[in-house]
Amino acid sequence: MNTSDFRILLVDDEPDIIEFLSYNLKKEGYHVFTALTGEEGIAVARKETPHLILLDVMMPGIDGIEVCKELRGIPGMDSVIIAFLTARSEDYSHIAGFEAGADDYISKPIKPRVLLSRIKALLRRSNAGTESTSVDVGKLRIDRESYLVHKEGEEINLPRKEFELLSLLASKPGKVFAREEILNKVWGDDVVVGDRTIDVHIRKLREKLGEEYIRTVKGVGYKFEF
């Protein structure tokens, strides 16, 4: 992976953290953009279309959750990776972030080697399988190249993790995917998330696609049917 091919946006209201992160990322060869407020972060994201955004949760004015929601509503931002930087460990904070469209959480205090490893893993997974073509399952067309879903001709925009979860389940209709397998294949074994995270994403997929496609297999996991 050539780091110089990737643009990373840092959004944090603490200049020391921005300077620290920017230094370490630039040293690895990444193109780095910065913002000290949520409003500024949205403006920079619109202009630069980064591949990955590291976004602080707790900021004055528009907080990270609201910034993430707004970014996901911007055309072309559906496939951008958004990882929250947070010192908060409460479950509700993580759930709110994932519901807003976040892909990952990175805890403060941030260790440079851990941060760089996590970023490489996120970027690597985001590029995996982009050579695949669109797949038709029932009334859905899943386009893995453009990260778009169409239902009976109507375009449905999904955040990256929702799309990857749907794509995984639809890759083998009828197969029951255990929760552990879903977590490993969609979030990766280097990302610590709980079972509730899967439930949140499944619920949001059902709201957008309808109840008929994703079935719950109690005590095991989920499967795709059409």
Measured CA to CA, the distance from residue 87 to residue 90 in angstroms comes to 9
Domain count along the chain: 2
Report yes or no: 35 and 10 within 8 Å, Cβ to Cβ.
yes
**Are 36 and 93 found together in one domain?**
yes
Of the candidates 63, 94, 80, 71, the one whose C-alpha atom is nearest the C-alpha of residue 7 is 80
**Are 154 and 206 found together in one domain?**
yes
**Are 178 and 157 found together in one domain?**
yes
The pLDDT value given to residue 32: 97
CATH assignment of the domain containing 13: 3.40.50.2300
Range of the domain at 108: 3-127
Pairing of strands 154-157, 148-151: antiparallel
pLDDT at 92 over 70: no
- In degrees, rounded to 5, the angle at the alpha carbon of residue 120 between the alpha carbons of residues 116 and 124 is 175
**Are 187 and 117 found together in one domain?**
no
| Bridge partner list, 86 | 107
Residue range 15-33, pLDDT digits in tens = 999 999 999 999 999 999 9
Tell me which of 106, 127, 148 is where a domain ends.
Answer: 127
**Are 60 and 149 found together in one domain?**
no
The pLDDT value given to residue 39: 97
Residue range 138-153, pLDDT digits in tens = 789 898 877 889 998 8
CATH assignment of the domain containing 220: 1.10.10.10
Query: Quick one: average pLDDT of 81-94?
Result: 73
* 160-to-64, 77, 128, 136, 146 alpha-carbon distances in Å: 17, 9, 13, 19, 11
* 203-to-6, 41, 165, 187, 211 alpha-carbon distances in Å: 32, 29, 12, 17, 9
CA 185 to centroid of chain Cα atoms: 13
Percent share of the chain, pLDDT over 90: 46
**Are 116 and 72 found together in one domain?**
yes
